[in-house]
Each structure stands twice: as structure tokens, then as C-alpha cells.
Amino acid sequence: MSDTIKILFLGDIVGEPGRTAAAKYVKQSLAEGRVDFVIANGENAAGGKGVSGRLAIDLLRSGIAVVTTGDHAWDQKDTASFIDTEPRLLRPLNYPKGVPGHGSIILETSKCKVAVMNIQGRTFMKQLMENPFHAAINEVNRLREETPVIFVDFHAETTSEKIAMGRFLDGSVSAVIGTHTHVQTADERILPQGTAFLCDVGMCGPHESVLGREPSNVIRKFLDNMPGPLPIAHGPVRVDGVTVEVNIATGLAKGIERVSEIVK
């Protein structure tokens, strides 16, 4: 039996094209034995605005073990009621007490227990959240009582806040991977104390787009600053993600590799 577990994390899933491409990629990766456990950020799955209960279930049925979110967590009106019934759909941990849902989960796999934690940054983000650093370390200490294998989705805008979080949690979690900007960065590395890090994992969505949206509509908005629809783009779809290999005994990363493929 291997002493490591390979975790695949897919970037923000955008609309139907992103859902279809992500599901296809996940099923193939699991069938071929390339990964053992899959996480995906699904907060843009419903036409780029949140994730409904039905779509969350579809993503989970495709083989994704945990769906994380971020600042669009509540854009679909049924999410607040659904999220309490499905613990594998996470919302950011650092919402105030009393908000529906949970910011972390521990799941049993054939190899080990895997914890997944979802946090949201505060710099240039609209929501008023609790301090993510205080929330993160308190939750990590709780999770480590049950497993050292802890994967963190840090949904944040700035590279500085993401890098700071990676450094802050270095050695206490398996990976800190950024989401939110939809643009994959090329700074993957294992930090000095053994935590895998990447500023932003990218997105699963139309390649010829602006963050998954039709370019002409986005450009128009930049030109006139007027409200209007921002439809999901068409054409080839890319899948952005990252695979992290983690030592089961220590919870520290042994390898990190970016994924970026056109799937249709």
C-alpha cells in the first residue's frame, strides 16, 4: 500500500461548459488511477453565479469528493437551505457564527482521512468576514487531532494575502491553494516546512473568454460602465487544477504539479 495520497484540486468551475469539462476530467482521472481524491471549487457552477443544490449533487456524483465555494456562495437562493443537508458542500470557514453550512469536513478514504478547509480572504473582497488567519489556525488545530492530511482552498483576491496564508500555515497543513481570480499562476512550490502552495489554481471554463465570460460583453462593460448581461463564453474549454501528493503519516507534501488542459 502506498504511503502517499494524490489529491486533485480543480479551479473555479464556470457554468455548464466548466461543469461538463470538470466532470469528464475527474471521471477519467479516477478511472485511470492518476489521483485518489478530488476537490473542486464550484462557486461559479450555476451560470457563473453560485452553485445550486442540484448542481452541487451533480458535481459530487461525478467523483468530486468535496465542493468548495467563496464570495458567490449564496448567489443561488436555495444554497442557504441546501448547504446544511450536504456537508460535502463547503462555504468559507470565516463567516460569522450562525451562518448555514460548514467551512471544513473530514472524509474517510481507502488510504487515510482527508480534511478539506475553505477560507476566504478579506483584501479587496466585498463581504465583511472574520479574520481568516485566526479562523484558519484554530480550525487546523482542531482538524489535526483527527488527521494530518489537510487541504486548504483559500479564496482570495491578492497574491500577498495568499502567500502570507501559505507561509502562516506552512508545516501544519498539506496544501494551501488559492482560488478566485480564475487565472492560473506559475508559482507552485513546496514551502520550507512541507506545505504545497499555489497562488491561484485557475478555472474550469471556456478558454476564449474573460474569466469564463463572453469577451465582447466584458469589454463593453469596461468601456461604458453600464450594467448588462455577462453570458458564459462558448468554444473550447480548459481545465485548470493542481495535483498534490501527500505523505499520509506526516501530512506534508511530497510533490505538486499544475494541470492545464483543453478538454473539448
In whole angstroms, what is the distance from residue 7 CA to residue 242 CA? 8
User: Which of 100-105's residues contact partners 24+ apart within 8 Å by CB, and which partners?
Assistant: 101/73, 103/135, 103/139, 104/139, 104/143, 105/66
Q: Catalytic residue at 134?
A: no
Residue with cell 474573460: 210
Handedness of CA 77, 48, 13, 181 (dihedral sign): negative
Specify the DSSP element, H or E, that contains 4: strand 4-10
Of 72, 155, 180, 182, which residue is the catalytic one?
72
| Beta carbons within 10 angstroms of residue 141's beta carbon | 10
Active site residues: 72
